[in-house]
Amino acid sequence: MKLRTLTLGLLSASALAFAAHAESITIATVNNGDMVRMQKLTEDFTKANPDIQLNWVTLEENVLRERVTTDIATKGGQYDVMTIGTYEVPIWAKQSWLLPLDKLGDDYDAKDIIPAIAGGLSVDGKLYAAPFYGESSFVMYRKDLMDKAGLKMPDAPTWDFIRQAADKMTDRANGVNGVCLRGKAGWGENMAFLTAMSNSFGARWFDENWKPQFDQPEWKKTLQFYVDLMKADGPEGASSNGFNENLALFQQGKCGMWIDATVAASFVSDPKNSTVADKVGYALAPDNGLGKRGNWLWAWSLAIPAGTQKADAAEKFVSWATSKHYAELVASKEGWANVPPGTRSSLYANAEYQKAAPFAKMTLDSINAADPTHPTVKPVPYVGVQFVAIPEFQGLGTTVGQLFSAALAGQSSVDDALKQAQDAATATMTEGGYTK
């Protein structure tokens, strides 16, 4: 009896000691398929690291952005790992809000990260966030409708070709719109698309002295082309359409072409949800022969806030979640098609992945076609392809997005929208001390 009591006591004491020793880290993340999958697979990590417990906080993208910004700016210390994008990384790293990731382990192979993505997540040559999945944008098109129109989509189309194809594919009687593009206002919604598009038209947000450029002919050409194209061949109510709305339209066979995130390829080619899964082709985002394409670059990445008390445990987790081992783990459990895309060159060299994901090559080519440090035809003082990596951009980008969305809805003219955008940008840059 005494021995039993002693054994029980010792076991309880060791359990308590273990619980006291176990360190828990809190990870803030967004709700998308890849992140949800990672949460299901964390047993692999906790088995290898029994002294680390993981707590998840999943939030809608905009709420997450606000929450982590509040926490990091006030050094709240609520999170040990944060999911942030290529927009936040350069700004936060310069504020010393993030820890550099220099202890990811000997077998991490940071050089395997796709250079364009690594460039977007580094400041002064140091990596401040590890990419979990990366994306660019490209053209998804209906091969059957393209054949019907008597056209062949080139791998690298021009905007003129897109307009010609959209005109021919539009079949209002059968509910087919030649092209579906984002129109919903927001810096990460229509302005992600339009900013990337404007790069291919030779436009830029600011000149080298931070003077807004919406009064320049390149922006007029961009916005006029977009509004005319959407009026002629876009869906009804396009000014309310974002990624999800266009995804629904494309999956229901109501779009001839859709230019949006490369991550959409896995959705539109999924026969479970898409009625056109076997009819989709992919091409690079269009250009105008000026040397820049209208595609963006984004990576949801894991970063460690400078205020964390558990940096070592956090970095261990970041290393695991963004490693080659994790890609193999996902492949073994859920197939290669479900491996988070757009982060490592080795994934695209993998024959099994290429076989499982027919859009793999075009995704990689699209990512490689984007250069966040030289995003425009003319020189600019900022970093970012579809955004300007300054704190003021979220507010300004959304204001300009609302003006351009109104122009698409026919509530204002292209000229008025551009003039108001120029005024708003000028006021913001003056207030921010960028210009006098």
Partner 1 sequence: MARSVTTQHKTIATIAAWIVALLIFFPILYTIITSFKSEQEAIQGFNLIPSGTFESYIEVQAQSGYFKFFLNSVLLSVGSTILALLVAIPAAWSMAFAPTKRTKDILMWMLSTKMMPAVAVLFPIYLIFRNLGLLDSRIGLMIMLMLINLPIVVWMLYTYFREIPGEILEAARMDGASLWNEIIYVLTPMAVPGIASTMLLNIILAWNEAFWTIRLTTTEAAPLTAFISSFSSPQGLFWAKLSAASTLAIAPILIMGWFSQKQLVRGLTFGAVK
Minimum distance of partner 1 from residue 241's CB (angstroms): 13
Using the minimum distance from each CB to partner 1, give the nearer residue, 7 or 252. 252
Residues paired with 158 in a beta bridge? 287
Least separation in angstroms between residue 82's CB and partner 1 is 11
- DSSP-derived letter for residue 108 is -
Q: Does 33 bind partner 1 (CB under 8 A)?
A: yes
| Nearer to partner 1 (CB atom), residue 190 or residue 288 | 190
Binding mask 191-230 for partner 1 (x = CB under 8 A): ----------------------------------------
- Decide if residue 76 touches partner 1 (CB under 8 A): yes
364 binds partner 1 (CB under 8 A): no
* Residue with Cβ nearer partner 1 (60 or 312): 60
Render 23-57 in DSSP notation, one character per residue: EEEEEEEE-SHHHHHHHHTTHHHHHH-TTEEEEEE
Closer residue to partner 1 in complex, CB, 135/287: 135
CA angle, residues 267, 34, 363, in degrees to nearest 5:
55
User: DSSP secondary-structure letter at 341?
Assistant: P
Q: Answer yes or no whether residue 244 interacts with partner 1 by CB under 8 A.
A: yes
Residues 286-289: contacts with CB under 8 Å, at least 24 apart: 286/139, 286/157, 286/158, 286/159, 286/161, 286/162, 286/200, 286/259, 287/156, 287/158, 287/159, 287/200, 288/158, 288/159, 288/200, 288/201, 288/202, 289/158
User: 395, 428 in Cβ contact below 8 A?
Assistant: yes
For partner 1, the binding residue among 42, 46, 58, 346 (CB under 8 A) is: 58
45 binds partner 1 (CB under 8 A): no
Task: Rule CB under 8 A: choose which of 26, 213, 319, 376 binds partner 1.
Answer: 26
Q: Which is nearer to partner 1, 124 or 236 (CB)?
A: 236
Minimum distance from residue 71 beta carbon to partner 1 (Å):
8
Does 263 interact with partner 1 (rule: CB under 8 A)? Answer: yes
- Residue among 89, 68, 60, 69 at smallest CA distance from 26: 68
Phi, psi (rounded to 5 degrees) for 241: -90, 125
Q: Which stretch binds partner 1 (CB under 8 A): 97-105, 200-208, 258-266, 389-397?
A: 258-266
Q: Binding of partner 1 at residue 59 (CB under 8 A)?
A: yes
Euclidean distance between CA atoms 35 and 31, whole angstroms: 6
**Nearest-10 crossing angle of helices 217-233, 393-408:** 50
Nearer of residues 232 and 248 to partner 1, judged by Cβ: 248
The residue from 7, 12, 74, 411 that contacts partner 1 (CB under 8 A) is 74
Indicate the residue among 30 and 321 with the shorter CB distance to partner 1.
30
Strand 81-84 to strand 23-30: parallel, antiparallel, or no bridges (unpaired)? parallel
Looking only at the bridges linking them, the beta strands covering 255-261 and 23-30 are: unpaired
Task: Using DSSP bridges, classify how beta strands 122-123 and 126-127 pair: parallel, antiparallel or unpaired.
Answer: antiparallel
Number of residues that bind partner 1 (CB under 8 A): 41
By CB under 8 A, tell whether 57 contacts partner 1: yes
Does residue 112 interact with partner 1 by CB under 8 A? no
Q: Of 122 and 269, which CB lies nearer to partner 1 in the complex structure? A: 269
**Contact criterion met (CB below 8 Å) for 304 and 81:** yes
- Residue 32 near partner 1 by CB under 8 A: yes
Separation between Cα atoms, residue 270 and residue 296, nearest integer Å: 23
- Residues in the site for partner 1, rule: CB under 8 A? 26, 28, 30-33, 36, 39, 55-61, 63, 66-67, 70-71, 73-79, 188, 242-244, 247-248, 251-252, 261, 263-264, 267, 272-273
